[in-house]
């Protein structure tokens, strides 16, 4: 999620990512007896086996409006209760009142992200504002608020303990924070704001998707591709072939973009691709600049209406940081600790480029940094990440990913080809609580890029199971990535960075799938956003451990493990330019907080963001730099990571510190893994995050482990 969702059989042949047209023909080709039996609108009562093969765009409006009415009736039942109020007839009903609506909208929103069509987008856009307004209106219902207050005063409510007590307190706090105590005019204005935010954030996301898909760079002469790894050249040739074109086709999706910016000798092409990526959705009909300004204006008004100084104060009250001051202090403190290393790294790179005797005209530019950094890394460590790619065939990575979870947490993961999916490349799996034991969850894995699928990597949930009478209702979730696809008869061979991305998203998925909570609203990943990255980021550590890599990192042709010399080079290079990478993340965090605390709403928002982020960049940005216009973490939903992007570095502190237990007691220790599962993964938001963390570590977190892991623990010597 960082800005940058039994073991499968051996790979016997590559599966090429399919186009949308192929997807439709695939669905038509499924024999009727094999298709999921659905006798009504499939979105009205979505089963665990979601019938993706039956869902059409025309189902959306009818289903959502009926489900909205059903959810409204559930809330009315709470409001109209005549008998004495109890947990079961008030809070329990509230916990499940919108469940079917959430599931249907989750499915539709997911399909719009991974299998978008004009018809589906139109249907989704038509209902999303109304649904958002409904959710925003829940805390504004006077009858519902009175019911909660009435229940909170009962003897039963005052004697609640554990998750139920926390749910009551958090619900009352959330209602207050979202306008329950406003007058009628204030409540109506909040409803209007919510509807407009839903429309704007949807438009923002779709502008990014469309502008990303609109770009292609065709190269006819292979000589212009000097420096590119053969894997990237082959992928570009295949991408052109898939479009019935001659030559080599490059896009803005990561598997195409990153090799160009890292290896391609042709500076003009690097610049063109870099500029295209960093100016997405910043001009023309897809210009997100005005969209961002309006989103920020509405968020500021929303916060003021609710009695908060700014949007950050509103958001952070329910996070681990609690206050804007704490978040700002965290970013500032880490920046000051990193700055000397960052300056040293920048000076060292400049010196290295100068010594090459081929300094780029006009000095280093942003599109040069990755290219020359890679050359410097090779010179320092004799290490090229492409050397690792043959050891990370997709099937082996999946086996290693699942085996890591199985060894740590005692689960059993098996493929389930019977679950319907939304695309032929998507695979489904089941998670059991050990061999032959209870079914805990199922999940989908959608791994390769497609034009109708948004970029990046993410995890999401469809169904959040709960514990009821000792029985655990299974969870259903998904992971999505955009890793290097297979080419011809060769399996998908991933970079090490792509492997860590898969482990990261699977960590989120495990947080969801291993949850054992009796309150749906507090289950799984429904935790503070500066805590939610701990289960995901800690999983990345196993991608660097020899004992873990030996379980899955084998050469796709010879089955040989990673050679010791190559592994040692990889470890030595791990800390290379760690300060620059840290400053990049801190720049995102800083601009996020600045936009939601300091931005006046009058100046050019893209220029404002550029000036903030420049302080964290190793080279000057051009005047049209507009990364903010595609920053979906902040603007693709009403809240998302807005005023909370610092969470990534915050959680890195937690994950580096927590991993020290595995390092000291065994990276595959079942005892430590069991404690991490029981004390953190299973607990959801049933206790304060710091309480959960201390239950696992026995103390509060320390920054020391992260600084040591990044090589930033000792002040660097002055650059020569």
Write out the DSSP string of 406-418.
HHHH--EEEE-TT
CB 349 within 8 A of CB 373: yes
One-character DSSP codes across 491-505: PPB--HHHHHHHHHH
What average pLDDT does this structure show over 672-677? 98
Residues with Cβ within 8 Å of 74's Cβ and at least 6 positions away in sequence, in order, are: 93, 96, 97, 98
Residues with Cβ within 8 Å of 549's Cβ and at least 6 positions away in sequence, in order, are: 400, 543, 561, 562, 567
Whole-number pLDDT of residue 507:
98
What average pLDDT does this structure show over 354-364? 88
Whole-number pLDDT of residue 716:
53
Compute the distance between CA of residue 100 and CA of residue 393 in angstroms, rounded to an integer.
39
pLDDT at 38 over 70: no
pLDDT at 33 over 50: no
pLDDT at 44 over 70: yes
pLDDT band per the 50, 70, 90 thresholds, residue 455? confident
What average pLDDT does this structure show over 669-684? 98
pLDDT at 21 over 60: no
Whole-number pLDDT of residue 715:
55
The pTM for the full model equals: 0.86
CB 652 within 8 A of CB 304: no
What average pLDDT does this structure show over 269-283? 98
pLDDT band per the 50, 70, 90 thresholds, residue 40? confident
Whole-number pLDDT of residue 460:
96
Whole-number pLDDT of residue 434:
87
- Tell me which of 354-358, 390-394, 661-665 is least confident: 354-358
Look at residue 89 and give its three-state secondary structure. coil
What average pLDDT does this structure show over 64-83? 97
Map out the domains of the chain with their CATH numbers: 36-181 (1.20.1050.40), 215-279 (no CATH), 285-381+577-645 (1.10.1370.10), 391-575 (1.10.1370.40)
pLDDT band per the 50, 70, 90 thresholds, residue 472? confident
pLDDT at 2 over 70: no
pLDDT at 567 over 60: yes
How much of the chain exceeds pLDDT 90, in percent?
A: 87
Compute the distance between CA of residue 256 and CA of residue 237 in angstroms, rounded to an integer.
11
Compute the distance between CA of residue 466 and CA of residue 88 in angstroms, rounded to an integer.
15
Whole-number pLDDT of residue 357:
85
How much of the chain exceeds pLDDT 70, in percent?
A: 94
* Average pLDDT score over the chain: 92
Q: φ, ψ for residue 471 (rounded to 5)?
A: -90, 140
pLDDT at 707 over 60: yes
pLDDT digits (tens, 9 = 90+) for 517-534: 999 999 999 999 889 999
pLDDT band per the 50, 70, 90 thresholds, residue 624? very high
pLDDT at 224 over 70: yes
Q: Give the residue numbers annotated as catalytic, written as ranges.
A: 505
What average pLDDT does this structure show over 5-18? 29
pLDDT at 632 over 90: yes
pLDDT band per the 50, 70, 90 thresholds, residue 28? very low
CA distance readout (Å), 41 to 102, 114, 461, 641: 16, 21, 21, 34
Compute the distance between CA of residue 379 and CA of residue 626 in angstroms, rounded to an integer.
33
Look at residue 470 and give its three-state secondary structure. coil
pLDDT at 465 over 60: yes
pLDDT digits (tens, 9 = 90+) for 90-128: 999 999 999 999 999 999 999 999 998 999 999 999 999
CB 442 within 8 A of CB 419: yes
pLDDT band per the 50, 70, 90 thresholds, residue 468? confident
pLDDT at 372 over 90: yes
CA 652, chain centre distance (Å): 15
CB 681 within 8 A of CB 411: no
Whole-number pLDDT of residue 435:
85
């Amino acid at each position: 999620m960082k800005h940058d969702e039994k073991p499968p059989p051996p790979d016997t042949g590559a599966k090429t990512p399919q186009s949308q047209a192929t997807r439709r023909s695939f669905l038509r080709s499924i024999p009727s007896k094999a298709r999921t039996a659905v006798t009504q609108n499939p979105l009205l009562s979505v089963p665990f086996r979601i019938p993706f093969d039956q869902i059409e765009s025309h189902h959306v409006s009818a289903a959502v409006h009926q489900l909205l009415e059903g959810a409204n009736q559930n809330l009315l039942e709470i409001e109209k209760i005549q008998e004495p109020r109890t947990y079961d007839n008030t809070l329990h009903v509230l916990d499940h009142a919108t469940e079917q609506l959430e599931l249907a909208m989750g499915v539709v929103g997911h399909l719009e992200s991974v299998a978008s069509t004009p018809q589906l987008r139109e249907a989704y856009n038509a209902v999303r504002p109304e649904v958002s307004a409904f959710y925003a209106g829940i805390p504004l219902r006077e009858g519902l608020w009175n019911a909660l207050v009435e229940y909170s005063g009962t003897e039963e409510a005052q004697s609640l303990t554990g998750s139920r007590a926390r749910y009551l307190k958090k619900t009352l706090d959330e209602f207050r924070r979202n306008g329950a105590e406003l007058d009628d005019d204030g409540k109506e204005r909040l409803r209007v704001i919510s509807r407009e935010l839903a429309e704007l954030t949807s438009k923002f996301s779709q502008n990014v998707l469309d502008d990303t898909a609109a770009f292609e760079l065709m190269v006819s002469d292979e000589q212009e591709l000097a420096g590119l790894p053969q894997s990237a050249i082959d992928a570009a040739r295949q991408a052109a072939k898939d479009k019935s074109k001659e030559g080599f086709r490059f896009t803005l999706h990561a598997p195409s973009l990153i090799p160009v910016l890292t290896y391609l000798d042709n500076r003009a092409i690097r610049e063109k691709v870099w500029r295209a990526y960093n100016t997405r959705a910043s001009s023309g009909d897809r210009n997100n600049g005005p969209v961002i300004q309006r989103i920020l204006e509405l968020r500021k008004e929303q916060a003021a209406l609710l009695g908060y100084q700014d949007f950050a104060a509103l958001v952070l009250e329910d996070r681990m940081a609690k206050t804007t001051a704490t978040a700002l202090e965290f970013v500032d403190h880490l920046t000051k600790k990193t700055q000397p290393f960052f300056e040293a790294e920048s000076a060292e790179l400049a010196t290295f480029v100068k010594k090459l005797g081929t300094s780029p005209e006009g000095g280093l530019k942003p599109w040069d940094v990755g290219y020359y950094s890679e050359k410097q890394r090779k010179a320092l460590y004799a290490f090229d990440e492409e050397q690792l790619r043959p050891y990370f065939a997709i099937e082996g990575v999946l086996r290693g990913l699942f085996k890591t979870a199985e060894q740590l947490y005692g689960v059993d993961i098996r493929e389930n080809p019977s679950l319907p999916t939304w695309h032929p490349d998507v695979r489904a799996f089941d998670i059991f609580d050990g061999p032959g034991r209870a079914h805990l969850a199922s999940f989908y894995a959608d791994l390769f890029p497609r034009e109708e699928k948004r970029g990046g990597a993410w995890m999401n949930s469809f169904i959040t199971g709960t514990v009821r009478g000792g029985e655990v209702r299974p969870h259903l979730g998904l992971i999505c990535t955009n890793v290097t696809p297979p080419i011809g008869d060769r399996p998908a061979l991933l970079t090490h960075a792509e492997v860590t991305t898969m482990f990261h998203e699977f960590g989120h998925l495990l947080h969801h799938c291993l949850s054992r909570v009796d309150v749906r609203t507090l289950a799984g990943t429904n935790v503070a956003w500066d805590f939610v990255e701990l289960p995901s980021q800690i999983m990345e550590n196993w991608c660097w451990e020899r004992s873990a890599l030996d379980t899955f990192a084998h050469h796709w042709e010879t089955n040989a493990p990673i050679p010791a010399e190559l592994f040692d080079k990889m470890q030595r290079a791990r800390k290379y330019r760690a300060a620059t990478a840290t400053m990049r993340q801190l720049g995102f965090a800083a601009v996020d907080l600045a936009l939601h605390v300091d931005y006046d709403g009058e100046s050019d928002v893209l220029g404002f963001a550029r000036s903030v982020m420049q302080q964290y960049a190793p080279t000057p940005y051009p005047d049209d730099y507009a990364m903010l216009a595609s920053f979906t973490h902040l603007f693709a939903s009403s809240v998302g990571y807005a005023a909370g992007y610092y969470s990534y570095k915050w959680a890195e502190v937690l994950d580096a510190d927590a991993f020290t237990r595995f390092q000291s007691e065994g990276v595959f220790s079942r005892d430590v893994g069991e404690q991490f599962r029981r004390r953190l993964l299973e607990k959801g938001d049933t206790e304060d995050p710091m309480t959960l963390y201390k239950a696992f570590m026995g103390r509060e977190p320390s920054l020391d482990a992260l600084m040591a892991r990044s090589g930033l623990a000792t002040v660097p010597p002055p650059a020569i």
